[in-house]
Structure 1
Amino acid sequence: MCAKRTGAAGACRRPAAPRALGAALAVAAAGVLLAGCADEDSGVADGATKSSAAASRAPKTPSSPSAPASPSAPASPSGGLTEDQAERKALVPRAKVSYERALTAAIAAVPAAEPVSAELKGTPGGGAAWETEVATADGTAHAVRVDAVTGKADPPRAEPDQDAEDKRELAGRLGRSTVTAQQAVRTATGGQRGTVSSVELGGFGNGTLSWAVDIVTQDNWTKTTYDIGATDGKILRKHVDRD
């Protein structure tokens, strides 16, 4: 009976083995599936992590708003010319009277005077005039404005700020100068084509007496200044003003 019961019990337990094995296999299969899912999930997570890490390590390109703006020069309203060049371009063609004619008109307005300077300048209303200075033998200076279109000279005006020392100094310059304004201009224009916009007797460097001659080149409207020795007629200096 015991053996039978044991056998019976054993017989009763035999069907359980397949069920236990099936359950074990199901659990194992589920484990494999879960492991596969975990592997897949892990792969996605690892890939996302790697992509995120790679993105964090990649050099960042600054966006255009945060990049510093490079300074740029303001646009020129005169086709690339500087302000000074544009002024020369507007002024020089207005003059129909040369510096020489202007000085001749000024000397005619102040008898027995000698030329000291002449400079072309603009006038209100878009005109042009030569602001000239001539002086008598005693060094008394007179300012004479000459219309750069008609050549007509205004009445001369004695320089109000001159004192006795100023007059002696100017008289000394005129007395020492052996080179005329016209000769100085010829020397300057011999090496530079253009229009004379200014000529002035004065001192150069260490006190050497000289004529400063400004010449405007009309192809680019730059100004070149020549310093010409007033006693020997030699070129002391040449300076190009590109402004």
Structure 2
Amino acid sequence: MNAQPVCAEFSRRRLTSGRVITVVCAAAASALLLGCGNGAGETPRPTESPTPAATPTVSPTADPTLSADQADRKDLISATKIGYDKAAEAAVGKVSGSKLVDIELKYARDGGPEWATEVATTDGTAHTGRVDAVSGKVVESQLATHQGVDDERELADVLAKAKVSWKDAVGKALAKRKGTVTSVELGTENGTPTWIVDVVTTKDWLKTTFDVDAMNGTIRHEEVDRD
């Protein structure tokens, strides 16, 4: 993937088959502290003591035919009751006039599934949040911290140029690969607004990442993570 997600706060670099992705994301702050992730099953399980919560913890899958990443995806998706679309709508609904920038299925601190979200208004002001992936409740929604003026301008520019909605981008990805959507991010590829969509196929728990042109809806690249 060449696409560069344009979330709010600071950069993270990902390497996949020699293709470099630069992530500028408010949600990446916690990922850098806990270990960077890219889609379901690749964010490390929390190591701190679980705190009481309504969401159930994810039970590890004991399947010797699956890799660690595949097993994590299976556990996380199997425990999830609220899909990306409902979670995205809930997050957007908390911030008037906002649009989705980023949503990713991850482990919550209590060990259960949650959607980490980022939405932004047309002026590029970003808000981060968390949506319980079992109940659908928005458990957190707040202004992104450390977002500078340049970050806001960059995000506002990408939002203005993106003519294809996240729903349509996901539709393009699912038309190529049936499965469960675990991540949707808005970014750029060589200056072109691009939606980055992760789809996990539940027959083998492999993840396919699609780069969807956010101006015309064409799929610019797709890649299967076989780990």
* 1:90 equivalenced with 2:85 (yes/no): no
Q: Secondary structure at the match of 2:138?
A: coil
**In 1, Cα distance between the equivalents of 2:160 and 2:139?**
27
Cα contact 1:109–1:155 (8 A) shared by 2: no
| Aligned equivalent of 2:201 | 217
Amino acid in structure 2 at the alignment position of 1:105: A
Q: CA deviation at 1:159?
A: 1.0
% identical equivalent positions: 46
Structure 1 residue ranges (4+ consecutive) displaced by more than 4 angstroms after TM superposition:
none
* 1:186 equivalenced with 2:196 (yes/no): no
Amino acid in structure 1 at the alignment position of 2:98: A
| Aligned equivalent of 2:19 | none
Q: CA deviation at 1:94?
A: 1.2
String of CA shifts for 1:208-237, please: whole Å, max 9, x gaps. 210000000111100000100000000000
| Aligned equivalent of 1:135 | 120
Count residues with an aligned counterpart. Answer: 167
User: Once structures 1 and 2 are overlaid, which stretch shifts more, 106-115 or 122-131?
Assistant: 122-131
Larger radius of gyration: 1
**In 1, Cα distance between the equivalents of 2:71 and 2:62?**
9
**In 2, Cα distance between the equivalents of 1:195 and 1:90?**
13
1:199 corresponds, among 184, 200, 207, to 184
**In 1, Cα distance between the equivalents of 2:211 and 2:141?**
28
Greater RCO (CA < 8 Å, at least 6 residues apart): 2
**In 1, Cα distance between the equivalents of 2:75 and 2:179?**
15
| Aligned equivalent of 1:153 | 138
Tell me the TM-score normalized by structure 1: 0.67
| Aligned equivalent of 1:70 | none
Q: Secondary structure at the match of 1:156?
A: strand
Amino acid in structure 1 at the alignment position of 2:196: A
The structure richer in strand per residue is 2
Cα contact 2:131–2:140 (8 A) shared by 1: no
* 1:237 equivalenced with 2:221 (yes/no): yes
**In 1, Cα distance between the equivalents of 2:62 and 2:76?**
16
Q: CA deviation at 1:77?
A: 5.3
String of CA shifts for 1:63-90, please: whole Å, max 9, x gaps. xxxxxxxxxxxxx953221111111011
| Aligned equivalent of 1:164 | 149
Amino acid in structure 2 at the alignment position of 1:94: A
String of CA shifts for 1:113-162, please: whole Å, max 9, x gaps. 11101000012343111001000111010001011111111241111121
* 1:80 equivalenced with 2:65 (yes/no): yes
**In 1, Cα distance between the equivalents of 2:64 and 2:203?**
13
String of CA shifts for 1:27-66, please: whole Å, max 9, x gaps. xxxxxxxxxxxxxxxxxxxxxxxxxxxxxxxxxxxxxxxx
Return 5+ residue gaps in structure 1 as ranges.
1-75
* 1:208 equivalenced with 2:192 (yes/no): yes
Amino acid in structure 2 at the alignment position of 1:211: W
Q: Secondary structure at the match of 1:213?
A: strand
| Aligned equivalent of 1:105 | 90
Q: Secondary structure at the match of 1:149?
A: coil
**In 2, Cα distance between the equivalents of 1:108 and 1:167?**
20
The structure richer in helix per residue is 1
Q: Secondary structure at the match of 1:110?
A: coil
**In 2, Cα distance between the equivalents of 1:80 and 1:93?**
17
